[in-house]
Amino acid sequence: MTLKTKRAENYPAWYQCVVSEADMAENSVSPGCMVIKPWGYGIWERIRDLMDEEFRNTDHENAYFPMFIPISFFRKEAEHVEGFAKEMAVVTHSRLAQKDGTLQPDGALEEPLIVRPTSETIIADSFSKWVQSYRDLPVLINQWANVVRWEMRPRLFLRTREFLWQEGHTAHASAEEAEAETKQMLEVYRKTSEEFLAMPVIQGIKPEYDKFPGAVDTYCIEAMMQDGKALQAGTSHFLGQNFARSANISFINKENKPEFAYTTSWGVSTRLIGGVIMTHADDEGMVVPPRIAPYQVVIVPVLKKAEDEENVMAYINTLVRELKTKTPFGEKIRVKIDKRLKQSVDKFWEWTRKGAPLVLEIGPRDVQNNGLVLKNRLNVGQKEVLSKEELLSSVEKRLENIQRHLFERAKARMDLNIRSDIQTPEEFRAYFGKANEWIEDGKVGKVAFVRGKWNGKAETEEILKELKISIRCLPFDQTGTKGKCLLSGEDATIDAIYARSY
């Protein structure tokens, strides 16, 4: 029972089909926005909880700041406002009033308010009040919130006008400490992506022309989707003293002299869910890595007669209690009993579409045999008949194996499809002149990533625009070897990752 649209036929339509059939999200009546449904939001909650623990383990604390930001705050940081100006939603009135028989905006504000596109400016204002001495530093804050950016081409999870995210903001006494913080949080993002989402990434730094508005340096993680395009999965920004100067985040240092603080910011959003879909889903629907699955084991009772219900449910309830003593990945297992009054086969296919890692079917005969039928999401169409004891002794390993397999499969696909043999601008243009296609596991040669030289000159950006690609990052593992810039043909030593992107 494959999806109506297959990856190889129409990748964008397939993506929308996965989201719909997995019942993860839907378009809202509010243009450009989405409703995140329980299964999709449950995945976000898992990502949020796992990341929040990582933040706390690195001594960050959660706080919350207003979503309405005075426009004057942005005007203080010219580069910052220029970078976000086209995406800002602006509040200019405080109420509605009846005028000429219809509701009209009324009560013009003395100063317009920007609906939070990001919080550097308003959090910097708070930091300026909190920081007086070097003894007040560092300040390590994270915020879980929503933001608004007026996207022109919305797509569920990937780009919507309102989305959920976390944004970290810190202030430090030295540039070295702030730079270390920036890289530390990028490593948290790498761990989140690879260990929790099973989504391999490349770590690197953004070119000068593509930095976060107002940043000194922007670091990122880039993932390869199944169609060969890149997805920026997280960014971490070293802001230097730029925002501290405009917001007056100053302190008396150890030499009893005034100094501006050094700040950072870093964030990921619900677009990570889009990344998980495009990394792991298949023509049967969604595939959710066990670490972020709202339910790792789903039990479907098979009840053809009303008189079977009591015995079957008693058996299932006992099994659930025993399952919940198991701790794959060091966490208590998450189990769901699907008690809905639907045919068991329909429920099985619903959970297949949702991507639940393991589905158990249990009926009267299974109860008699002290057994069950297990179906693994990685092997749709196959089933195992197990005793209850066999399941309980192996369930942790089964979930851990699924998690590992998903990462290894995605990593192999990425490694196979990073081209490093393209040496000249002519070869480069010929390669990216092809259409993007879905990359089948194990195949090489379709349009994906190219790792090659770049001369470091901003004017080459025009060539990138012409080819509709971008430099995703300058990877940390620079070779230092000489070669020809793939854009200009000039001598170059910088290694860059080139790709089309979301």
Q: Indicate the pLDDT class of residue 77, thresholds 50, 70 and 90.
A: confident
Residues 207 and 309 in one domain: no
Percent of the chain at pLDDT exceeding 90: 89
What's the CATH number where 343 sits? Answer: 3.40.50.800
Residues 311 and 345 in one domain: yes
Lowest model confidence (mean pLDDT) among 81-85, 265-269, 355-359: 81-85
Look at residue 107 in the predicted model and tell me its pLDDT: 94
Structure tokens at 51: 């990341």
Domain end position, chosen among 247, 280, 313: 280
Residues 104 and 199 in one domain: yes
To the nearest whole number, what is the mean pLDDT of the chain? 95
Q: Sheet of 262-269: strands edge to edge? A: 61-62, 139-148, 162-172, 262-269, 230-240, 217-224, 202-205, 470-475, 494-499, 449-454, 418-419
Q: Indicate the pLDDT class of residue 445, thresholds 50, 70 and 90.
A: low
Instruction: Domain of residue 434: give its range.
Output: 417-499
* Total tally of structural domains belonging to the chain: 3
Instruction: HSE, CB side, 13 Å, CA atoms: give it for residue 477.
Output: 4
Q: Indicate the pLDDT class of residue 440, thresholds 50, 70 and 90.
A: confident
**Region 164-177: what's the mean pLDDT?**
98
Residues 249 and 316 in one domain: no
First to last CA, the chain: 29
**Region 149-163: what's the mean pLDDT?**
95
Q: Indicate the pLDDT class of residue 323, thresholds 50, 70 and 90.
A: very high
Residues 34 and 170 in one domain: yes
Residue 1 domain-assigned? no
pLDDT at 76 over 90: no
Query: Strand, coil or helix: what is 129?
Result: helix
Residues 112 and 53 in one domain: yes
Residues 344 and 238 in one domain: no
Residue 285 domain-assigned? no
Residue 404 domain-assigned? no
The 10s digit of each residue's pLDDT in 102-150 is 999 999 999 999 999 999 999 999 999 999 999 999 999 999 999 999 9
What's the CATH number where 477 sits? Answer: 3.30.110.30
Distance from C-alpha of 114 to C-alpha of 460, rounded to nearest angstrom = 34
The DSSP bridge pattern shows strands 358-362 and 297-301 to be: parallel
Q: Tell me which of 342 and 401 has the higher pLDDT.
A: 401
Per the listing, tokens 């990216």 go with 432
Look at residue 495 in the predicted model and tell me its pLDDT: 98
Q: Tell me which of 485 and 305 has the higher pLDDT.
A: 485
Domain end position, chosen among 245, 280, 315: 280
Distance from C-alpha of 463 to C-alpha of 487, rounded to nearest angstrom = 7
pLDDT at 96 over 90: yes
Residues 105 and 220 in one domain: yes
**Region 88-111: what's the mean pLDDT?**
93
The 10s digit of each residue's pLDDT in 288-315 is 999 999 999 999 999 988 888 999 999 9
pLDDT at 1 over 80: no
3-state secondary structure 412-478: HHHHHCEECCCCCHHHHHHHHCCCCCCCCCCCCCCCCEEEEEECCCHHHHHHHHHHCCEEEEEECCC
**Region 385-395: what's the mean pLDDT?**
98
Which DSSP string corresponds to 351-365? HHHHT-SEEEEE-HH
Residues 303 and 170 in one domain: no
Residue 4 domain-assigned? no
- CA separation, residue 235 to residues 215, 244, 273, 297, 486 (Å): 11, 20, 16, 33, 25
Residues 429 and 342 in one domain: no
Is there a contact between 355 and 286 (Cβ–Cβ < 8 Å)? yes
Q: Tell me which of 269 and 101 has the higher pLDDT.
A: 269
Fill in the DSSP letter of residue 270: T
Residues 33 and 159 in one domain: yes
Residue 407 domain-assigned? no
**Region 37-56: what's the mean pLDDT?**
98
Q: Indicate the pLDDT class of residue 32, thresholds 50, 70 and 90.
A: very high
Query: Strand, coil or helix: what is 102?
Result: strand
Residue 410 domain-assigned? no
Is there a contact between 137 and 251 (Cβ–Cβ < 8 Å)? yes
Look at residue 442 in the predicted model and tell me its pLDDT: 64
Rounded to 10°, the helix 11-21/271-280 angle is 110
Residue 193 domain-assigned? yes
Buried b / exposed e along 116-128 (16+ C-beta atoms within 10 A): bbbbbbbbbbbbb
Residues 70 and 207 in one domain: yes
**Region 330-344: what's the mean pLDDT?**
93
Region for 423 from its dihedrals, namely left if φ exceeds 0, alpha if ψ lies in -120 to 50, beta otherwise: alpha
**Region 479-497: what's the mean pLDDT?**
96
Is there a contact between 231 and 501 (Cβ–Cβ < 8 Å)? yes
Look at residue 312 in the predicted model and tell me its pLDDT: 97
Residue 5 domain-assigned? no
Domain end position, chosen among 223, 254, 280: 280
Per the listing, tokens 């990877």 go with 475
**Dihedral Cα 411, 413, 414, 418, nearest 10 deg:** 140
What's the CATH number where 271 sits? Answer: 3.30.930.10
